[in-house]
Amino acid sequence: MRFWLAVLSVVSVATMLPATASADARDDKVGVYIEVYNMFTSRFDSQRSRYRAVFGTLDPAATPCASAQNAERELFHGQDSSGTVADFRRRLRRRPSLPQDALVNDMLDAATVAAPTWNEVFDYYHRDVDSTDACALGNTLHGRITAAWAKYFTAEAQLIGFLREETNARQARELASIEREFGRNFRFFHATMLGETMTLQELYGAEPFDVEAFSRAVESLAAHFGEIRPRVSTAPAEASAGLNAMHYSSFLVRLDNFIGSARAFVTAVRSNTRVDRAANDFERGLSDVIRTSNGMRFDERVR
How is the chain split into domains, by residue range?
22-160, 183-303
Give the span between the Cα atoms of 286 and 197, in whole angstroms. 8
Dihedral (Cα; 42, 187, 227, 192), 10-degree rounding: 50
Give the span between the Cα atoms of 220 and 38, in whole angstroms. 27
Question: pLDDT digits over 18-47, tens only?
Answer: 333 345 788 899 999 999 998 999 899 999
DSSP 79: -
Which amino acid is present at 220? S
Backbone angles phi, psi at 2, to 5 degrees: -85, 135
Neighbours of 201 (CB within 10 A): 24
Quick one: pLDDT band at residue 68, thresholds 50, 70, 90? confident
Taking a C-beta distance cutoff of 8 angstroms, is the pair 173, 15 a contact? no
> For 183-303, CATH number?
1.20.120
Q: Is the dihedral of CA 58, 63, 67, 69 positive or negative?
A: positive
Q: Which residues are CB-neighbours of 290 under 8 A, at least 6 positions away?
A: 5, 6, 8, 9, 197
Q: Higher confidence at residue 4 or residue 95?
A: 95
**Phi-psi group of 274: left, alpha or beta (phi > 0 → left; psi -120 to 50 → alpha; rest → beta):** left
Question: pLDDT digits over 249-301, tens only?
Answer: 999 999 999 999 999 999 999 999 999 999 999 999 999 999 899 889 888 99
